[in-house]
Structure formats: C-alpha cells, structure tokens
A and B are shown apart, each in its own frame.
Chain A
Amino acid sequence: MIKYWWLGVIFIACLILPLFIGEFWIHVAIEILILGLFAVSFNMIFGYMGQLSFGHAAYFGAGAYATGLLMVKSSVPLPVCLAVSMITAGLLAVVIGYFCVRLTGIYFAILTMAFGQLLYYIIFQWYSFTGGDDGLQGIVPPDWLFSATSYYYFTLLIVTAGLIVMWFICESPFGYTLRAIRENADRTRFIGINVRKYMLINFAVAGMFAGLAGGLLGPFNRSIAPDLCNWHQSGVPVFMTVIGGPIGFFGPIIGSLIYTFLFAFVTGFTEYWPLIIGIVIIFVVLYMPGGILGLAKTKFKRRESKAPIVEEN
C-alpha cells in the first residue's frame, strides 16, 4: 500500500483543487473525471482484454438516458438514478456482448460499432420516449448538488469509488485471466477457462461503469443529446486511452486530462478543434506508440520486480 502513496497525494490535490480554480475550470475538472471514468471502463476491454470496442458510447449514452429520463419524468433521487444507469447499461452490454465476444479483432470492432449505431438511431428516431434529436432538457440536479463545486465533489466521490472497484477487478485473478486471454486466447482455453464467459463478464462490467459515467453527465450538462451514443463519442475514449497509454490502469485518466484540457483550451480560440486533435493523434500514433505511459516507461525504466501489466509489443 505504501507504493501507492502518490494516489493519496493526487486525491488530496483533487480535494483542495476547487479552492484555487474558477468555475469554468471546475466544470472542466468535472468533465475530466466523468470522461476519465468512461475511458478507464473502455480500457478494461481494450487494454486488459485486447479488443477494440468502437461502440462503447452506447453504454455511456444508455446510462445518460437512464438517469436523464428518470430525472425528467419522475422524482427519483440522483444516487438511485445512477444505480439504474449502471444496471441499464450493464444489461445492454450483456445483450450486445453476448454476440460481440464471439468475434475478435476487426470484426469485434465493427460489430460493437454496428450495435452502437443501432442504439444511436433508435434513440435518435424515438421522439415520444427519448425526445429524438432534440435530446432531453432540464435535467436539474438536486439542490444540494446545484453549485459547480458541490457537483465536483459528488463526481469526485463517485468516480473515485468506481475507479477503486475497477482497480480491484483488474488486479484480481479475474483481471489476470483477462490479460491471459489478451495474450493468447487459445492457450487460456486449453487450461480450462471459458474464454467467452470471462470476456462477456468483463464486457458487462465495462458497460456498467461506462453507464455510471454517462449517468453523471446528464445532471452536469443539464441536458443530453443522442450524439452521446454515436461513433464519434465512441472515438473519445479510444483517443484518451491511446494518448495516455493503454498499458496502465491510469493511462486513460491521463489521456482524459490531456484531451479535455486541450479541448477546453483550444475551443476557446478556434472552432477547428477536430483539426487540432486529429493532428495530435496522428503525432501520437506515429511517434509515441504506447502513449504518455509508454513514453514514460521507455524513458525512465524503473526496476520493477513484477511487471503489473504486460507491455504491448
């Protein structure tokens, strides 16, 4: 536990952060946390299981709509809504994952994307229930979370709890089985492990936490739109993970920090955000494979007895 003292330092830094920054940057910080949770859940499939999901926004969007609809159409307290979000997204992930885990590689990526787009068009067209392309407005958080600072602390609490749970899942025997599946699914099968079952469970868990992140977004933005489910949104956690580095648990959060910060900064003076992020990604892919963490690992090779996560070739 002593090894992870720096996590405590970062957490305390996060706690006192709102004292030093203005409201705009508190909003940015909330977004970093929410998208960071989303990206870490994506990385459970990508980094730990070795499959690229290009439809992860479906669970994020499902979570957002579950909370959004409950808050607009009823008066259920927010924590209950978030739980419902997790369950909804998890169930959706079980159904979609049931089919997706039969495939690997490019087929996995395309099937997850096809299901993601399917959900997107359903939400987009179903005016009577989801509001169609108008989205849902007026998702007002309860009074005790109304100010940016209080919502920041609430988000920090939920995201930290989510990250801790995911961390323990990834460091459990279950997590190591996933790594084995990533390295060689056939050999893992030979030692008697039901590969598809493990992949499906992981897919569902990743979907649940993506749903939790989505649920946090609605009350933060006061509104949600079907764009949350389409493949552009699915690209966001991919970007974050690749920028930060898929080889570590915290890579996607570093990616979220860089991506969201850059977004807030760049959109301040130009509308050509896609151009900038596109160039950044081309640069990262060409010159920084493994992202920030990969770079850090090769530059400062630390003497670690056990390799916590096997590096990608």
Chain B
Amino acid sequence: MVPKALVAASAKPIILSLLLSGENYGYRILQRVRLVSGGTLEWSEAMLYPVLHRLEADGFIRSAWKLSGEGRMRKYYFLTKAGEKELQREKSHWLSVHKALTSLWATAEKID
C-alpha cells in the first residue's frame, strides 16, 4: 500500500491525467484509479470530493450536472486549459523525481 502522504501528493496529477482522456464523475474516477494502480493506490472516498472541489476552485477543472446513460443525474468534471498546463507542470515535476530516483537506484545496484 502506498503511504498516505504520497497518495495525497499524487492525487492532483492523477485526477488531471484521468480527465485528460475525457470528462468523468467521482465514482468512476475512484474506480479508474484503483484499476490503473492495480489496487496499490487506495483512495479514501471522503478525500476525493474535496480535492475535486479544490481543483475546481483553482480553475484547473470545471464541472456540470448531466443526465447519465442510466438516467441518473451525475456531476461530471472536465479539464480546463489551465488544468492542461498545470498537468504539464506536474508531469515535469514527477518525471524529474522519477529520473532522479531511477538513476540513483541504477548506481546503487552497480555498487551492490
């Protein structure tokens, strides 16, 4: 299981990345996260909505109530232009972390 701090930190890029492929609503987002992480990322359900609202307040995503295929009203979220830019920034941050760690571990393995 991924620890809480990392879950919180990665919530934003993950949500933005998910919405990059199209609009979606809360429950589906949770399911998708669980799916792509192979169950290692366990998001508490109470955490998701506040984060969504926070991202909306910051202008990275927008929301709209829509009738879904099953005839239920659902609140859909989609990415804004600012959100796409924010995602680019997040991506470069995470990639640099990733790069640093990979190269460190590569050296560590050689020494081992």
- Do the two shown chains form a genuine complex with each other? no
Binding site for B on A (CB under 8 A): none
B residues near A (Cβ < 8 Å) are: none
